[in-house]
Structure 1
Amino acid sequence: MVVQTDDGPHGLLIDFDCAFDSSVARSPVRPERTGTLPFMSIGNLSKSLLPHNILDDWESLLYLICWTGTFGIQEPGPAATDDRELLIKSWTVGSPESIATKKKSVMNDSSTFSREILGKFDQNQTDCWRLEDLADELHETLFYNDSLDDGQKALCHGAITLDLSNPQQKRTFERRFGHVFGLSSGVDVSKLGSVVVDPFVERARHAQTITDDLLSKLQKYAESAREALKGSHA
C-alpha cells in the first residue's frame, strides 16, 4: 500500500501471512488459494499445476482495474447500469474453478472483453477513459501479444487450451496462428511437439518479455495520470 504526501511517497508492507522464504525450494504446485475471487488470476483460481509467476500478479491488476472502472472506488457503483446485467459480477459467484472458467471465456476473446467488460465501465467517473484504455492495453499484452508471435513464434493467444486432435479446435488454432507459421494448407501437428496448446504455459516461457511490455505501458499511463493531476491542480 502506497500513499503520496507532501514529502513524497510512503509505503506500508502488508499480507506478511502470504510471505515465504525465497531461499527455500518450493513445490511447483499451487497448494492453496489466497486472494479475493474477482481479482485472482485464472491459474490461482483453477489451482493450475503451472507455478505461480509474475504474470499472475499482472492479471490480477487487470481485474482490479476492470472492477474499479465498472464500480468506481466508492459505493454505490455505476449510476447508469443495472449491476445485475454485469458479467463481471459473475466473478463473485460460484466455486473458484467455475469463476476461472467464466474469466477464460471473457479473456479469450477480445471482442467479448471489449463488449462485456470495457463497455460496462462507468463513464460518469472522471477520466474513466484512461482506465478503459489501460485495461484494453493490458488485456492485449497479456492475452494477445502479437510481438511474441512475430519474434518468438509463441502460441500465447487466448485463455483456453486447444486440443489439436479435435478438428474444430484445430481449425481455431489455424485461424489464430496461421500467420505465424504460414499455415496455408493446414497445420502439421507433429512439428509442434505437442497436440495440446496451453497459452498459459506458453506465456510463462516468455514471462519476462511480456512483463517488460506491461511495465512500459503502465509507466506511460502513470505519467499521463500525473500530468492530468498537475493540470487539475493548476
Structure 2
Amino acid sequence: MSINNLSESTVKRTILDDYESMLYLVCWSATLGIGSSQRHRKSKNLEKLPIARWRKVPIEAIVEAKRDHFGTEKSLKTKIANFFSSAIGSNNVSDDDDDPDKAWLTDLACKLRRTLFDNSSEGVGYECRGTSEFEISGLSRPKAGRAEAYGRPVSGAHAPASDEPVVINPFEKRVEKCDIITKELLAVIDGYWEAAKQEQNKPKPAPKEQVGKAEKEGSWLEAV
C-alpha cells in the first residue's frame, strides 16, 4: 500500500497511489526473484533485510520505513535495491552488482521513485517532492533536487507575507499535479516496455551442444 493509504490520510486517493504500490511490488518481487522458476528467496528469509520492515506492525512502523527507504535515491539503492535478486529470464543467481538483470530492475525502481517523489517536471512545484511533511517559513522557492534549500531564509519580494511556518504535505500537493506526474510515469513504463520487447527479440545464444554443430555446418543461426 502507498504511504498515503497506510497512514489513513484524508488526502484524496488517486492513480498515483496505485503507481506507488506498483513500485513497492517491483521492489518486493525483485528481492524475491522474478517469476516462480527464478524465485531464489523465500518470504521468511527476508527478515534480516531492510525490506522486512514493510510488513512489521504497527502500521506506523511500515509508514516510517517506506518514508525512509524512498526519501532519497541513495536510500533506495543501499537499503532496498542492493538486495535485489538476479534472474528475470535465467536460472542463474547472481548477487554481482554488474548483473544486467539486477541493474535493469534497480534503474526501473529508481526512475519510478524519482517520478513519484522527486518530480521536477515543468509545472510541478517543489511542494510535491519528498515522502514526509515539511515546514517552510520565510523561504524562497528551492531549485529542483535541492531539498536542503527548504531551510534557507530569504528577504525582500520573495519572502512570504507572514513568518508563520506553513506545513506542506507533498502527497496533498501531488494530487493537484496528478495528470502531469501520471504522464511521466506512463512514459517511464512505456520506455521499459519497449526495451523489454527489444531484449526479448534479440537472437538467443545457441546451447553448448548446438554450438559445435553450428560450427561444423558453418552457420550459427541454423543451430538456434
Same-fold status (TM-score > 0.5): yes
| 2:127 counterpart of 1:155 | yes
Q: Decide whether aligned partners of structure 1 residues 217 and 192 sit closer, same or farther in structure 2, where only a CA change above 3 A counts.
A: farther
Relative to the length of structure 2, the TM-score reads 0.70
Q: Which amino acid aligns with 1:145?
A: N
| 2:178 counterpart of 1:207 | yes
Query: Partners of 1:154 and 1:205 in 2: how far apart?
Result: 12
Which runs of 5 or more structure 1 residues have no equivalent in the other structure?
Answer: 1-39
Q: Decide whether aligned partners of structure 1 residues 51 and 128 sit closer, same or farther in structure 2, where only a CA change above 3 A counts.
A: same
Q: Decide whether aligned partners of structure 1 residues 194 and 211 sit closer, same or farther in structure 2, where only a CA change above 3 A counts.
A: farther
The CA deviation at 1:178 is: 3.7
* Structure number, greater radius of gyration: 2
| 2:107 counterpart of 1:133 | yes
The answer as to whether partners of 2:127 and 2:173 remain within 8 angstroms in 1 is yes
Relative to the length of structure 1, the TM-score reads 0.67
Partner of 1:225: 196
Query: Partners of 1:191 and 1:145 in 2: how far apart?
Result: 28
The answer as to whether partners of 1:161 and 1:199 remain within 8 angstroms in 2 is yes
The CA deviation at 1:43 is: 1.0
1:185 alignment partner, one of 138, 154, 162: 154
The answer as to whether partners of 1:107 and 1:113 remain within 8 angstroms in 2 is yes
Q: Decide whether aligned partners of structure 1 residues 220 and 188 sit closer, same or farther in structure 2, where only a CA change above 3 A counts.
A: same
Q: Identity, % of aligned pairs?
A: 31
Instruction: Report the 3-state secondary structure (helix = DSSP H, G, I; strand = E; otherwise coil) of the residue aligned with 1:69.
Output: helix
RMSD value, Cα: 3.1
Which runs of 5 or more structure 2 residues have no equivalent in the other structure?
Answer: 90-100, 205-223
Kindly provide the CA deviation profile for residues 94-140 of structure 1, in whole angstroms up to 9, marking residues without a partner as x: 12232112111211122111211111111355423222111110000
Query: Partners of 1:111 and 1:189 in 2: how far apart?
Result: 32
Kindly provide the CA deviation profile for residues 125-180 of structure 1, in whole angstroms up to 9, marking residues without a partner as x: 542322211111000000001224xx443412210101346x9xx8xx8952749x
Query: Partners of 1:138 and 1:144 in 2: how far apart?
Result: 10
Q: Decide whether aligned partners of structure 1 residues 119 and 185 sit closer, same or farther in structure 2, where only a CA change above 3 A counts.
A: same
The answer as to whether partners of 2:71 and 2:131 remain within 8 angstroms in 1 is yes
